[in-house]
């Protein structure tokens, strides 16, 4: 994903494009990895017209992925640990500087 997010790959790419950047990896290994990333929603997949091949594109930015994954993980922690998880988060927030807290509040308001 780093290659797609940093634009080391074209906007739409095929597995061979990935292999050029990772020549020591087998094509089938890269194909499996790219397909799994598509199954997880990190990549969009589209069949190339009149071919058996597929092209891929990133489904979002690294920041969007991080925001979504973080929300999901926090939800899991809350479900598993309840108020203890929230208390731990609150303790972490108290340890932040006012500038850090303000930055976090503005990010939370935009997502």
- Per residue in 59-75, pLDDT (tens digit) is 999 989 988 888 899 99
Summarised one tens digit per residue, pLDDT across range 27-48 is 999 999 999 999 999 999 999 9
What's the CA gap between 46 and 50, in Å, rounded?
Answer: 12
User: And the tokens for 52?
Assistant: 């058996």
What's the CA gap between 25 and 1, in Å, rounded?
Answer: 15
Rg (CA), the chain: 19
């Amino acid at each position: 994903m780093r290659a797609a997010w940093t634009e080391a790959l074209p906007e739409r790419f095929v597995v061979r494009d990935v292999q050029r950047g990772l020549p020591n990896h087998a094509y089938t290994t890269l194909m499996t990895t790219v397909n799994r990333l598509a199954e997880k929603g990190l990549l969009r997949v589209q069949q190339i017209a009149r071919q058996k091949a597929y092209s891929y594109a990133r489904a979002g930015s690294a920041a969007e992925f991080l925001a979504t994954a973080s929300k999901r993980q926090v939800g899991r922690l809350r479900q598993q640990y309840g108020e203890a998880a929230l208390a731990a988060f609150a303790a972490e927030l108290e340890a932040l500087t006012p500038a850090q807290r303000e930055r976090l509040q503005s990010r939370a308001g935009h997502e």
